[in-house]
């Protein structure tokens, strides 16, 4: 097993490289997970899961996260709660599945002799995906902590849950994520030290944030049921309309954070079990154990991609402001061409309506004024004015010549 979080996606590729067909037997007691995995990867089910479904989920998840970044940077959403943390979560959710799917793309759609390339990707690219998953998990923990502070201590939240503190928290998380992947490169050739690094990384990037998420989720859902639940829904009527809208918005954002935390807990649970299972026995033998390991591998890979791709849909379903901003942005994108075309047509209509007025105004002018203004005119009637200027200017030239002749005499 190469890694602890996103490395479940690289496990099958490494298992294939260690498989020896000559050692495969039909005895159930000697069948190991790498033998089953090699058959699965070469079969239709492996290509369908890792080569098609996972890439499709990654593609649509990246589109959703990019749209999330665009919507969160709109003016209407900039002052929303935990806005900066949600942007950091979207960036992590773009990096992690994209890099984790590179070995699958190389294996199924690259050249046949691609073992060196896959080993290079597993050694140098997938640790970055692990760091992105580290960031994603701890950002979810930070979002839940901030929301718990806002619900429990709303007065203190204005000081401690500000945008500046959100940016500080993101900076700290990204720095620790970089530090967490440095040992993978430093101990790349030392297998014993790398095993210890994997155990520590599994504890810091999977076990600790998962346990904290569970505790915070339980605390937050109890507080929501007590403070903003159905028992307090009747109290909205006693407040003014503005305060009632704020309370309802507060409850919606809290429910959105609860859903994000819940999906993170559910999707990370098989990965956590698979990581512990893999650290205990990296290649389990025996038909039942190997089959359980392969099933956990399938489920964990699928749920990891779902965890990184589902946030956009959660925001769209639970946050009215996000949905409204997205609708406005889509309308601007869809009707931008029609708006420009209608604007051009209205300008042309105004110009055509103004042309007869300009012509009638020019006819009422005196010849002298017409001569002075015709040189600066750039309208459609400029040739007619130029002819008038040419007929008037020779008379002036003749008058000047006669005057000069008189002076000479």
Q: What is the pLDDT of residues 15-37, one digit of tens each?
A: 444 344 444 344 555 677 777 77
Q: Supply the pLDDT for residue 88.
A: 93
Structure-model confidence comparison of residues 95 and 33, the more confident one? 95
| Max mean pLDDT range (236-250, 256-270, 343-357) | 256-270
Where helices occur in 203-319 by DSSP H, the ranges are 208-227, 241-280, 287-309, 311-318
Q: What is the pLDDT of residues 204-215, one digit of tens each?
A: 988 899 999 999
Q: Supply the pLDDT for residue 106.
A: 86
Q: Supply the pLDDT for residue 18.
A: 39
Beta bridge partners of residue 318, listed in sequence order: none
State the average pLDDT for the chain.
Answer: 74
Q: How confident is the model at residue 282 (pLDDT cuts 50, 70, 90)?
A: low
For residue 137, pLDDT over 90 is answered with yes
Q: How confident is the model at residue 289 (pLDDT cuts 50, 70, 90)?
A: confident
Structure-model confidence comparison of residues 39 and 133, the more confident one? 133
For residue 358, pLDDT over 70 is answered with no
The beta strand positions in 23-153, using DSSP E, are: none
- Domain 30-332 listed as CATH 1.20.1070.10: yes
Average pLDDT over residues 359-384: 45
For the chain, give every domain's residue range.
30-332
Range with the poorest average pLDDT among 19-28, 50-59, 78-87, 340-349: 19-28
Give, to the nearest 10 degrees, the angle between helix 287-309 and helix 54-72. Answer: 30
DSSP symbols for 203-227: IIIIIHHHHHHHHHHHHHHHHHHHH
Q: Using CA atoms, how far apart are residues 33 and 20, in angstroms rounded to an integer?
A: 12
Structure-model confidence comparison of residues 383 and 322, the more confident one? 322
Calculate the alpha carbon distances from 337 to 67, 329, 331, 332, 348 in Å: 20, 14, 11, 9, 17
Q: Look at the block and give the residue holding tokens 């000559």.
A: 22
For residue 329, pLDDT over 60 is answered with yes
Residue 303: which of 210, 177, 216 has the closest Cα? 210
**pTM above 0.95?**
no
Q: Supply the pLDDT for residue 123.
A: 85
Average pLDDT over residues 390-401: 46
């Amino acid at each position: 097993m190469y890694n602890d979080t996103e490395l479940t996606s690289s496990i099958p590729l490494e298992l294939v490289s260690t498989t020896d067909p000559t050692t495969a037997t039909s005895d159930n007691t000697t069948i190991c997970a790498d033998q089953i995995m090699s058959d699965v990867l070469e079969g239709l089910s492996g290509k369908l899961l890792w080569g098609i479904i996972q890439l499709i989920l990654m593609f649509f998840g990246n589109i959703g996260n990019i749209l999330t970044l665009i919507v969160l940077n709109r003016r209407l959403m900039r002052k929303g709660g935990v806005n900066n943390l949600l942007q950091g979560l979207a960036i992590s959710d773009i990096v992690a599945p994209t890099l984790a799917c590179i070995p699958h793309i190389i294996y199924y759609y690259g050249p046949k002799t691609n073992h060196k390339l896959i080993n290079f990707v597993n050694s140098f690219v997938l640790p970055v995906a692990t760091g992105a998953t580290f960031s994603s998990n701890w950002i979810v923990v930070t979002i839940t902590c901030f929301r718990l502070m806002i619900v429990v201590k709303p007065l203190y939240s204005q000081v401690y849950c500000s945008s500046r503190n959100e940016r500080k928290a993101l900076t700290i998380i990204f720095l620790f994520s970089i530090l967490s992947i440095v040992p993978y490169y430093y101990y790349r050739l030392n297998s014993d030290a790398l095993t210890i690094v994997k155990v520590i990384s599994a504890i810091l990037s999977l076990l600790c944030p998962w346990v904290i998420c569970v505790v915070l989720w339980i605390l937050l859902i109890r507080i929501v049921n007590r403070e903003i639940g159905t028992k307090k829904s009747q109290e909205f009527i006693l407040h003014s309309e503005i305060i009632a809208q704020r309370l309802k918005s507060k409850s919606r954002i809290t429910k959105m954070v609860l859903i994000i935390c819940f999906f993170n807990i559910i999707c990370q649970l098989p990965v956590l079990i698979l990581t512990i299972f893999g650290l205990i026995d990296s290649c389990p033998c025996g038909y039942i154990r190997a089959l359980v390991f392969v099933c956990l591998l399938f489920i964990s890979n699928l749920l990891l991609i779902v965890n990184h791709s589902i946030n956009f849909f959660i925001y769209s379903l639970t946050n009215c402001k996000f949905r409204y901003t997205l609708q406005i942005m889509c309308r601007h994108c869809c009707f931008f061409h029609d708006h420009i075309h209608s604007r051009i047509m209205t300008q042309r209509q105004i110009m055509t309506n103004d042309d007869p007025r300009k012509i009638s105004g020019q006819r009422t002018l005196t010849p002298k004024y017409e001569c002075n203004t015709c040189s600066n005119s750039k309208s459609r009637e400029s040739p007619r004015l130029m002819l008038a200027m040419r007929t008037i200017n020779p008379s002036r030239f003749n008058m000047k010549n006669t005057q000069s002749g008189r002076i000479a005499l």
